[in-house]
Chains A and B, each alone.
Chain A
């Protein structure tokens, strides 16, 4: 699987937007970009995914670079509940599609 690179940690203030970057320079044409997050002592939670176009859902937005070598997860208004480790992963849409998490970005949200 192609690798992703994320900053180890980021900080934000409550109710401010947060932009979480992810680099995936070796992405292939069949790789989907997925984001999951894991709150303390909980199982991972799906956030959003996309292939080429930007995506929006109730939780977040995903901005994908035109060359697809990077993407940004956007939380429009951070809340304390958004404090978690965010994982950016690439998944080929064939086979078992198992998830493999790297170290992710630990997001801290200050009140």
Chain B
């Protein structure tokens, strides 16, 4: 079946421009996560959506970052006034909500963002 998809796969932008990254989660998954991974680094949590609940934005590094999830499905991560330190791979993951401990996360291929 279809997995998590992300677009674009690569994005090169100039410092100061805004960018939008899109994530299509697996159909029926109620949980959606955004992470970023810098070159050779571990995974950094950004934001979490669960159903109709208010998102957990505690991982967003600054107010230049925002995300929304429309209709409980597609999500868009927006970075305003991009900076060079925003360069990273942005990963989206979705998860079904099942029984205890059943929180396997399915990742998309990521969007590689390069800010010049």
Partner of B101 from the list A44, A93, A101 (CB cut-off 8 Å) is: A93
B84 within 8 A of A: no
Q: Do B103 and A97 have beta carbons less than 8 Å apart? A: yes
- Asked if B33 is at the interface (CB within 8 A of a chain A CB), the reply is yes
Interface residue ranges of B2-59 to A (CB < 8 Å): 4, 31, 33, 35, 42-43, 45, 48, 50, 56, 59
Please judge, given known A-B contacts A42-B109, A43-B91, whether A98 and B59 are in contact too, CB under 8 Å. yes
For the complex, give the distance between the alpha carbons of A45 and B109 in Å.
10
Total contacts A-B at CB 8 Å: 56
- Residues 46-83 of A, flagged 1 when their CB comes within 8 A of B and 0 if not, give 10010100000000000000000000000000000000
Q: Are B43 and A100 in contact (CB under 8 A)?
A: yes
Q: Which residues A19-47 have CB closer than 8 A to chain B?
A: 32, 34, 36, 42-46
Bound-state CA distance A82–B114 (Å) is 29
- What is the interface of chain B, defined by CB distance below 8 A to chain A? 4, 31, 33, 35, 42-43, 45, 48, 50, 56, 59, 91, 93, 95, 100-101, 103-110
Q: Which residues of A contact B33 (CB under 8 A)?
A: 96, 98-99
